[in-house]
């Protein structure tokens, strides 16, 4: 039931130009208590493309949300509409083999480079043009919640990484 509600919520917010995708969650922090901690690159990619959810192998953080996206494990991927599962280029073969072993369809798994080729030049231009307004609105939401000084410190810390 929760997955249906989430899918309806995402359907309203999705952009029609891109098919829904699921991106590999590239970072977690903590040893006993795991927390999602994706890279800045993944956060920017989330703003650019039609990311339906993040996929990870950590069952401890399954069904949490990060960047307003659901975090799932490979066993629940069938409940989310998606065309591609996008994996970072650096760990592509290793992660692809893990996902195939977990039962994810081989044809839907692509690297980030392949995904950019599949959406084409116009798709990439559209994604880059839409990035700036989405970033500004997200920063403004953060400023409303936490104040200007905290937002500036957070942005500086992210840029220093």
- Chain segment 34-53, per-residue pLDDT in tens: 788 888 889 889 888 888 99
Q: How far is it, in rounded angstroms, from Cα 40 to Cα 119?
A: 22
Q: pTM of the predicted model, to two decimals?
A: 0.83
- Average pLDDT value for the chain: 88
Structure tokens at 155: 């942005």
Structure tokens at 98: 């893990």
Q: What is the total residue count of the chain?
A: 161
Cβ-contact 158, 40 below 8 angstroms: yes
User: With bands split at pLDDT 50, 70 and 90, how would you rate the model's confidence at 114?
Assistant: very high
Tell me the three state secondary structure of residue 87. Answer: strand
Strand ranges inside the chain, DSSP E? 21-24, 28-29, 35-36, 51-55, 65-66, 69-72, 84-87, 109-111
- For the ranges 59-63, 87-91, 111-115, the maximum mean pLDDT occurs at 111-115
Q: What is the pLDDT of residue 15?
A: 66
Cβ-contact 49, 41 below 8 angstroms: no
The yes-or-no verdict on residue 31 having pLDDT over 80 is: no
Q: What is the pLDDT of residue 73?
A: 93
Q: Considering only 15-29, 83-97, 104-118, which range has the smallest mean pLDDT?
A: 15-29
The yes-or-no verdict on residue 55 having pLDDT over 90 is: yes
Q: What is the pLDDT of residue 107?
A: 92
Q: How far is it, in rounded angstroms, from Cα 60 to Cα 58?
A: 5
- CA 84 to chain CA centroid, nearest Å: 12
């Amino acid at each position: 039931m929760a997955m249906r509600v989430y899918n309806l919520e995402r359907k309203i917010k999705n952009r029609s130009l891109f098919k829904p995708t699921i991106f590999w969650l590239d970072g977690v922090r903590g040893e006993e208590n795991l927390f999602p901690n994706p890279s800045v690159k993944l956060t920017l990619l989330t703003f650019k493309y039609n990311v339906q959810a993040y996929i990870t192998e950590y069952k401890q953080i399954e069904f949490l949300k990060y960047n307003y996206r659901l975090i799932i494990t490979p066993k629940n991927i069938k409940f989310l509409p998606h065309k591609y599962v996008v994996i970072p280029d650096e760990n592509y073969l290793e992660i692809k083999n893990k996902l195939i072993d977990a039962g994810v369809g081989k044809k839907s798994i692509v690297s980030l480079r392949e995904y950019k080729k599949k959406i084409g030049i116009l798709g990439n231009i559209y994604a880059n043009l839409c990035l700036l307004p989405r970033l500004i609105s997200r920063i403004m939401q953060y400023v409303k919640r936490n104040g200007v000084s905290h937002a500036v410190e957070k942005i500086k810390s992210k840029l220093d990484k």
